[in-house]
């Protein structure tokens, strides 16, 4: 149905300005849309597969639609039409000027036109082990079998997405023990996460020849856990668990202490990113002396690095990276000890080899020096941890370090439909730094991946929400569904949508609430003060944005009591000794008071313009944060604010969302059957029946920082971004929906360059 009554006025769906749709759809849920014919409440449909339309909530009301159809064809020039005895004003747009993107661009299927290849035959059961596997229903395909039963020497198993890496790795371990009589304690099995290690152990138990005791004798775990065990065995005094800086905040505290000595402002410096940089250097085997700092920010971080290492040495503390660098030192300083381990480990099996970093690689080289039995499984197309020092380089050049190496490619994808696999193949094939390979699917699906084109982030969330509702009414369970995005910031709108619904969902533990971000909190502080001039918390929040120190609050409080002024009024009397700053502070009072009664969006724009908020953000912009810029956060805030008419409602909403973020994270541990909201990075190794990829536009995926690097002549970050899209696409089994919002952060957006040719082909 194209027509409805909204606030006493007839509206036609195709004349509503596009940016109003989400707001109308929300108001419809509160009963503000009715059918002009029968007077019943109607809803606005905003989904992926069908055009926006009005629909009766309780019945299909075909007669209403027929009547409306007939009425609309009577006389288009008339000022009013008569429907069912009511005289109603003729339709017109509900905004004076429809926005630039009014038209609804229909979703369409992504089709590559490639045929599905024939499936491989099962492996010939050339030994008892393979025969046994096929009897237990975990048969291997010929390439998997070749890898599992490989004889001796270094082997690189190039395993495409969904090609059964876990199956191959566990089967290899079991094969070596069962068929080759390798003693379990001569085996080392390295995984990327402790969860993966636990899964491997559980799977190993399903092999008849394996039991808890034999698995216990194997050395399994992450690089960190294995090398920590070695260190604490040989240098017990140094490597006690009590001395571990296990939490990020502990490391940050040390860095902040060092920063204070260097007069770095705590609020103006991204200590989390500095820690990331230090970790990157350590994993690349660079020391505070040898680290190469490429810009002023890195030079500052290098100084912090030196102080951080000094502090740890003095207090006899260590962090996770030290477990690797420490072990490297142990082996290089004690060749005899290294030799004992070289003799012990006959076989080293490594998962996710594409994400190995320099120190891990060097350690493996040392440990495998005698037997050279490195069984490395990885997919260069899924290397996405460059910022941690990982590099696909080691996988790409494996044969250089291991000249006798064999390479086996697993090219059958057992996870995704042919439609998903071929679309993912089309995307990744454009990367230049990769080993040539192609994945083949095992089955066809009735549905193809889909690209859809919401107006903006809010509409993207609304459409996905509707689609999830439809899926859950069908054969899908919440746990079958994942929503993936490039950075946490990209999940703001969908989080907000789900937070007000009854759908169970979970988020990454480290996902900070959008409204807890420093820039956002500070801006909301201005809005809060416009409602309550005595709000101390709000004053504290806005001080940094006015370039004032926290201590000034005490003086303001005293002044407020002595001179009977509100805290807000005290701004006009603050003495800083700088006339330009004092003049600016005098403006604070009238500007904040002028916000009263305005919409939150307008209020934000005024603070930005009148109180120098943009200058404040610009200044913070020098902090070297590659992924999140304050100015972008403010743009996101404006998109979020757009839906609200009153500042108080928006502030209440922000509080609710902040509280929900904590609540959801608390529930995460117990919630089994829930929709997953995750960054693409965190989704690696996982699979879902249905996947939504958010924000497939330039600037988001690929991220701005990669585009900037590309403009400066470095194409590697852009290739990593393409791999991220590939990883996201290959998480889907059969249902994949890629969102290409037409506007992002309040501006027209361009389709992700990774998708343009594929979408063109599909049309
Ligand atoms: N030979 C096989 N026959 C049938 N199914 C298989 C076979 N090998 C693996 N699978 C199934 O294929 C799916 C993907 O396997 P797995 O998760 O191990 O792939 P992966 O290589 O680790 O994927 P990714 O790297 O994309 O995370 C799993 O559901 C697994 O059980």
Q: Are 182 and 176 in contact (CB under 8 A)?
A: yes
Instruction: Write down the pLDDT at residue 450.
Output: 97
Q: Whose CA is nearest to atom 8 of ligand 1?
A: 164
How far is it, in rounded angstroms, from Cα 371 to Cα 351? 19
To test ligand 1's pocket by mutation, which of 167, 349, 380 has the most ligand atoms within 8 angstroms of CB?
A: 167
For ligand 1, the distance from its centroid to the CA atom of residue 738, given in whole angstroms, is 23
CA nearest 16: which of 6, 8, 26? 6
Residue 646 reports pLDDT greater than 80 = yes
Burial of 439 (0-12, 13-18, 19+ CB in 10 A): buried
To test ligand 1's pocket by mutation, which of 383, 392, 414 has the most ligand atoms within 8 angstroms of CB?
A: 414
pTM: 0.89
- Segment 371-393 shows an average pLDDT of 90
Closest ligand 1 atom to Cα of 731: 26
- Crossing angle between the packed helical segments 320-333 and 335-344, to the nearest 10 degrees: 100
Write b or e for each residue in 196-210: b if 16 or more Cβ atoms lie within 10 A of its Cβ, otherwise e. Answer: bbeebbebbeebeeb
164 is in an annotated binding site: yes
Beta bridge partners of 53: 45
- Segment 149-161 shows an average pLDDT of 94
For ligand 1, the distance from its centroid to the CA atom of residue 11, given in whole angstroms, is 51
Instruction: Write down the pLDDT at residue 73.
Output: 59
Window from 136-140, 168-172, 724-728 with minimum mean pLDDT: 136-140
Instruction: Write down the pLDDT at residue 424.
Output: 96
Within 10 angstroms of residue 628's Cβ, the number of other Cβ atoms is 15
Phi-psi region of 105 (alpha: psi -120 to 50; beta: other; left: phi over 0): beta
User: Is residue 380 very low, low, confident or very high in pLDDT (cuts 50, 70, 90)?
Assistant: very high
Closest ligand 1 atom to Cα of 382: 25
302 is in an annotated binding site: no
How far is it, in rounded angstroms, from Cα 538 to Cα 525? 4
160 is in an annotated binding site: yes
Within 10 angstroms of residue 548's Cβ, the number of other Cβ atoms is 18
Query: What radius of gyration, in Å, describes the C-alpha atoms of the chain?
Result: 30
For ligand 1, the distance from its centroid to the CA atom of residue 161, given in whole angstroms, is 8
Burial of 681 (0-12, 13-18, 19+ CB in 10 A): middle
To test ligand 1's pocket by mutation, which of 162, 166, 416, 723 has the most ligand atoms within 8 angstroms of CB?
A: 162
How far is it, in rounded angstroms, from Cα 203 to Cα 192? 16
Closest ligand 1 atom to Cα of 166: 18
34 is in an annotated binding site: no
Token output for 380 = 């260069």
Q: Whose CA is nearest to atom 25 of ligand 1?
A: 161
How far is it, in rounded angstroms, from Cα 121 to Cα 735? 27
Closest ligand 1 atom to Cα of 410: 21
Q: Which residue has the higher pLDDT, 266 or 82?
A: 266
487 is in an annotated binding site: no
Window from 313-322, 460-469, 524-533, 610-619 with minimum mean pLDDT: 610-619
How far is it, in rounded angstroms, from Cα 483 to Cα 711? 30
| Omega within 30 of 0 (cis) for the link into 747 | no
Instruction: Write down the pLDDT at residue 388.
Output: 81
Average pLDDT, the chain: 88
Instruction: Write down the pLDDT at residue 667.
Output: 83
For ligand 1, the distance from its centroid to the CA atom of residue 163, given in whole angstroms, is 5
117 φ, ψ to 5°? Answer: -80, 160
How far is it, in rounded angstroms, from Cα 450 to Cα 50? 13
For ligand 1, the distance from its centroid to the CA atom of residue 157, given in whole angstroms, is 14
User: Is residue 100 very low, low, confident or very high in pLDDT (cuts 50, 70, 90)?
Assistant: very low
Q: Are 368 and 156 in contact (CB under 8 A)?
A: no
Q: Whose CA is nearest to atom 7 of ligand 1?
A: 164
For ligand 1, the distance from its centroid to the CA atom of residue 483, given in whole angstroms, is 21
How far is it, in rounded angstroms, from Cα 485 to Cα 508? 12
Instruction: Write down the pLDDT at residue 96.
Output: 36
Instruction: Write down the pLDDT at residue 146.
Output: 94
Q: Are 649 and 297 in contact (CB under 8 A)?
A: no
161 is in an annotated binding site: yes
Q: Whose CA is nearest to atom 9 of ligand 1?
A: 164
To test ligand 1's pocket by mutation, which of 119, 138, 163, 377 has the most ligand atoms within 8 angstroms of CB?
A: 163
Q: Which residues, in sequence order, are CB contacts of 405 under 8 Å at separation 6+? A: 153, 154, 155, 156, 398, 399
ipTM summary value: 0.95
Query: ∠634-636-641 over CA atoms, to 5°?
Result: 90
User: Residues 330-346: pLDDT tens digits?
Assistant: 999 999 999 999 999 99
User: Is residue 311 very low, low, confident or very high in pLDDT (cuts 50, 70, 90)?
Assistant: very high
For ligand 1, the distance from its centroid to the CA atom of residue 685, given in whole angstroms, is 10
For ligand 1, the distance from its centroid to the CA atom of residue 166, given in whole angstroms, is 7
Q: Which residues, in sequence order, are CB contacts of 293 under 8 Å at separation 6+? A: 299, 301, 302
- Segment 659-664 shows an average pLDDT of 91
Closest ligand 1 atom to Cα of 379: 25
482 is in an annotated binding site: no
Closest ligand 1 atom to Cα of 685: 27
Closest ligand 1 atom to Cα of 414: 12
For ligand 1, the distance from its centroid to the CA atom of residue 470, given in whole angstroms, is 28
State whether the Cα torsion 332-334-336-341 is positive or negative: negative
- Pocket, ligand 1, Cβ cutoff 6 A: 140-141, 144, 159, 161-167, 379, 382, 414-415, 685, 730
- Segment 153-166 shows an average pLDDT of 93
Beta bridge partners of 11: 4
For ligand 1, the distance from its centroid to the CA atom of residue 162, given in whole angstroms, is 5
How far is it, in rounded angstroms, from Cα 202 to Cα 169? 13
For ligand 1, the distance from its centroid to the CA atom of residue 348, given in whole angstroms, is 21
User: Is residue 233 very low, low, confident or very high in pLDDT (cuts 50, 70, 90)?
Assistant: very high
Q: Which residue has the higher pLDDT, 209 or 589?
A: 589
Token output for 358 = 């320099």
User: Residues 43-98: pLDDT tens digits?
Assistant: 999 999 998 999 887 766 667 877 777 666 555 455 555 655 555 555 444 443 44
User: Is residue 36 very low, low, confident or very high in pLDDT (cuts 50, 70, 90)?
Assistant: confident
Q: Whose CA is nearest to atom 16 of ligand 1?
A: 164
- Segment 654-669 shows an average pLDDT of 88
Instruction: Write down the pLDDT at residue 522.
Output: 92
For ligand 1, the distance from its centroid to the CA atom of residue 568, given in whole angstroms, is 61
Instruction: Write down the pLDDT at residue 99.
Output: 41
State whether the Cα torsion 227-232-234-239 is positive or negative: positive
To test ligand 1's pocket by mutation, which of 119, 138, 164 has the most ligand atoms within 8 angstroms of CB?
A: 164
246 is in an annotated binding site: no
Q: Are 736 and 691 in contact (CB under 8 A)?
A: yes
- Segment 286-310 shows an average pLDDT of 92
């Amino acid at each position: 149905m194209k027509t409805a009554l909204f606030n006493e006025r007839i509206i036609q769906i195709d004349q509503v300005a596009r940016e109003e749709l989400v707001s109308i759809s929300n108001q419809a849920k509160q009963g503000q849309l009715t059918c002009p014919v029968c007077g019943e409440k109607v809803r606005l449909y905003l989904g992926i597969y069908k055009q926006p339309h009005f629909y009766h909530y309780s019945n299909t009301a075909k007669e209403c639609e027929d009547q409306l159809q007939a009425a609309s064809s009577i006389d288009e020039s008339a000022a009013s039409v008569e429907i069912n005895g009511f005289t109603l004003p003729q339709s017109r747009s509900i905004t004076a000027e429809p926005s630039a993107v009014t038209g609804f661009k229909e979703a369409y299927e992504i089709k590559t036109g490639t045929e599905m290849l024939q499936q491989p035959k099962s492996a010939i059961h050339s030994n008892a082990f393979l025969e046994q596997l096929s009897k237990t229903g975990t048969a291997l395909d010929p390439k998997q079998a070749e890898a599992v039963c490989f004889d001796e020497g270094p082997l690189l198993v190039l395993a495409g997405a969904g090609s059964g890496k876990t199956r191959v790795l566990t089967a290899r371990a079991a094969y070596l023990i069962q068929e080759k009589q390798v003693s379990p304690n001569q085996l080392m099995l390295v995984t990327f996460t402790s969860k993966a290690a636990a899964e491997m152990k559980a799977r190993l138990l399903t092999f008849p020849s394996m039991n808890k005791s034999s698995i216990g004798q194997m050395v399994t775990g992450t690089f960190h856990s294995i090398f920590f065990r070695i260190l604490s065995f040989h240098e017990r005094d140094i490597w006690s668990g009590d001395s571990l800086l296990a939490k990020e905040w502990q490391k940050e505290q040390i860095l902040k202490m060092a920063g204070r000595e260097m007069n770095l402002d705590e609020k103006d410096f991204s200590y989390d990113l500095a820690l990331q940089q230090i970790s990157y250097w350590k994993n690349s085997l660079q020391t505070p002396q040898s680290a190469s700092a490429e810009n002023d920010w890195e030079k500052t971080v290098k100084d912090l690095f030196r102080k951080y290492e000094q502090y740890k040495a003095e207090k006899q503390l260590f962090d996770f990276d030290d477990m690797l660098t420490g072990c490297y030192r142990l082996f290089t300083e004690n060749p005899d000890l290294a030799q004992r381990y070289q003799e012990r480990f006959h076989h080293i099996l490594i998962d996710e080899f594409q994400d190995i970093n320099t120190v891990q690689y060097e350690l493996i080289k040392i440990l495998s020096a005698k037997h050279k039995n490195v069984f490395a499984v990885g997919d260069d197309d899924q290397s996405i941890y460059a910022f941690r020092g990982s590099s696909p380089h080691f996988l790409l050049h494996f044969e250089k370090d291991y000249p006798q190496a064999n390479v086996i490619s697993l090219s059958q994808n057992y996870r995704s439909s042919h439609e998903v696999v071929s679309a993912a193949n089309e995307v990744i094939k454009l990367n230049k730094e990769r080993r040539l390979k192609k994945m083949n699917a095992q089955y066809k699906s009735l549905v193809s991946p889909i690209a859809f084109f919401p107006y903006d982030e809010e509409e993207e969330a609304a459409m996905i929400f509707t689609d999830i509702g439809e899926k859950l009414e069908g054969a899908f369970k919440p746990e079958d569904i994942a929503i993936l995005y490039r950075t946490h910031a990209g999940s703001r709108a969908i989080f907000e949508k789900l937070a007000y619904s009854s759908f169970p969902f979970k988020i990454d533990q480290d996902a900070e609430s959008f409204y807890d971000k420093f820039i956002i909190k500070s801006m909301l502080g201005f809005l809060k003060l416009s409602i309550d001039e005595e709000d101390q918390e709000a004053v504290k929040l806005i001080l940094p944005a006015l370039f004032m120190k926290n201590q000034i609050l005490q003086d303001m409080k005293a002044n407020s009591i002595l001179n009977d002024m509100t805290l807000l009024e005290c701004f006009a009397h603050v003495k800083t000794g700088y006339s330009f700053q004092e003049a600016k502070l005098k403006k604070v009072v009238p500007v904040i008071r002028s916000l009263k009664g305005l919409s939150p969006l307008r209020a934000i724009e005024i603070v930005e313009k009148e109180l120098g908020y943009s200058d404040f953000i610009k200044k913070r912009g020098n902090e070297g944060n590659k992924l999140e810029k304050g100015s972008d956060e403010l743009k996101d805030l404006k998109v979020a604010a757009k839906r609200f008419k009153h500042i108080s409602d928006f502030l209440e909403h922000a509080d609710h969302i902040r509280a929900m973020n904590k609540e959801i994270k608390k529930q995460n541990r117990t919630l089994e059957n829930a929709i997953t909201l995750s960054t693409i990075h965190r989704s690696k190794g996982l699979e879902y029946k249905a996947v939504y990829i958010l924000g497939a536009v330039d600037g988001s995926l690929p991220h701005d920082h990669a585009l900037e690097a590309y403009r400066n002549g470095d194409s590697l970050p852009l290739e990593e971004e393409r791999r991220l899209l590939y990883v996201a696409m290959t998480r889907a089994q059969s249902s994949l929906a890629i969102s290409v919002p037409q506007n992002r952060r309040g501006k027209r957006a361009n389709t992700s360059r990774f998708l343009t040719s594929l979408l063109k082909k599909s049309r």
